[in-house]
Structure 1
């Protein structure tokens, strides 16, 4: 049963050491993410699953103890998924040679470390933009049907086409797409998230779409209330933070 969810962006710039002199520009987004994680902890889940976007070759599950690195972004910083959290009792957790976390889940693991997550065992799941809405919804339903109280930390940015200098260049469809996603997250609108167009999302470089649709599947019938904590696009990329509880 899904008891709470948090939606957060996952740019490496969220990590102050990566952002360096520009760290202050992400202060509001970072603080909103901290607040969102606190909502997850307050729900007293039995387990927390991080869900984030990745390349197709990185898709799949990552157990507690999986490691991620920000060395590729010029920072000598490593993180461990679920560091300090209760032992999930999963065989193989953190074994040497396990595949590294993709960047989105690395940022998520950093966020949990920074907020001192201790509330429940942690695992992670990476999706790609090849995961269609039906598959994401079905995966969410399956996760919510498992025993115990589930919390989700859903990582992923909105469109990357909000300005001329954005990573994906300007597209006038980007702001309306992000606005629709923000309204759906604010209202815990499962149907609206399920209906997001994956083709348009891919054209607008919306990394969060698969995770948002997994959340929609997991939340069916859960009767959760949504709250939008943050909605900005400081670098031409939509950064949304929301909670469902």
Structure 2
């Protein structure tokens, strides 16, 4: 059952080493992410699942200890998704040799950027509250499938927490990555309202085609969250909402 969730944006610029001059305009977002992850730890979960958008190569499961890198952004910085311990003791006790080999292969195939940012955030907060794993989801994943995946995640343990990575539209200004789209501000406002209110029905109903047109990479992860939270009765708190660089960023905690 889902007992807590944190929603965070996933721009690599959150990592000061990636952002020239540390991008002080993102300090408030970084602080809000730290607070949201603190809510996850306080919930005392049995397992943390980190969900984020991914291109084809990064889709699917990523075990605890999987490597991520920011070298593609010109920075000599590597991260791991949680402390690496060969997939944690539970896997070592319960998996056969073939499963262990698969886990080792997954750990070395590389995290997508969204999960690398999550790994940096978790390392920054010294996450030790529960075993964890990652899941990269693709933009084309239909809402119905996202919701089903979320339901499956929530059923995996008595107390499941989610760290959900994803950005809103990338079309808020003329200099935004997707240029200016007049629909973006309204879309982001509804996303911020729904995430801040833990409005599961509204997240399920997000328009996937519009999200794609507005380059909102968080749509699929947010709908995974909606599936996991269905019936959990969680309440939400919006911790941060802004659009630096013309991209919508939202941070919230559900408990």
| Bin of the TM-score, shorter chain as denominator length | over 0.9
Query: Which residue is equivalent to 1:62?
Result: 62
Judge conservation of contact 1:48–1:151 (CA < 8 Å) in 2. yes
In structure 2, the residue corresponding to 1:117 is in which secondary structure? coil
For these two proteins, the number of residue pairs brought into alignment is: 245
CA distance in 2, matches of 1:147, 1:102: 25
2:64, 2:107 within 8 Å by CA — same for their partners in 1? no
Equivalent residue, structure 2, for 1:89: 90
**TM-score, normalising length: structure 1:** 0.96
Listed as ranges, the matches of 1:14-93 within 5 Å are 14-83=14-83, 87=88, 89-90=90-91, 91-92=100-101, 93=103
| Higher fraction of helix | 2
CA contact 2:63–2:106 (8 Å) conserved in 1: no
Residue 155 in structure 1 maps to residue 149 in structure 2: no
Give how far 1:242 is off: 0.5
Give the aligned partner of residue 184 of structure 1: 194
Q: Distance in 1 between matches of 2:67 and 2:237?
A: 31
Q: For each residue in 1:187-212, what CA deviation from the matched residue of structure 2 results, as whole angstroms up to 9, or x when unmatched?
A: 11000000000000000000000010
Query: 1:168 maps to which residue?
Result: 178
Is 1:3 matched with 2:3? yes
Corresponding position of 2:96: none
Preserved CA contact (<8 Å) 1:54 1:128: yes
Matched with 2:233 is 223
Residue 130, structure 1, aligned to residue 140, structure 2? yes
SS at match of 2:121: helix
Cα offset for 1:35? 0.4
Shift in Å, 1:57 = 3.2
The Cα of 1:21 is off from its aligned counterpart by 1.3
Q: Per the alignment, do residues 103 and 57 of structure 1 end up closer, same or farther by CA in structure 2, a change over 3 Å counting?
A: same
Distance in 1 (CA, whole Å) between partners of 2:143 and 2:89 is 29
Secondary structure (helix, strand or coil) at the match of 1:235 reads helix
**Which segment drifts farther, 67-76 or 84-93?**
84-93
CA separation in 1, counterparts of 2:6 and 2:62?
Answer: 19
Following TM superposition, the consecutive aligned residue runs of length 4 or more in structure 1 with deviations greater than 4 angstroms are 92-97
Deviations, residues 55-108 of structure 1 (Å, cap 9, x unaligned)? 123210001111000011111110011127893533344459731001000000
SS of the aligned residue for 1:17 comes to coil
Q: Does structure 1 residue 236 correspond to structure 2 residue 232? A: no
User: Could you tell me the TM-score, scaled by structure 2's length?
Assistant: 0.92
Separation in structure 1 between the aligned mates of residue 157 and residue 41 of structure 2, nearest angstrom: 18
Unaligned runs of 5+ in 1: none
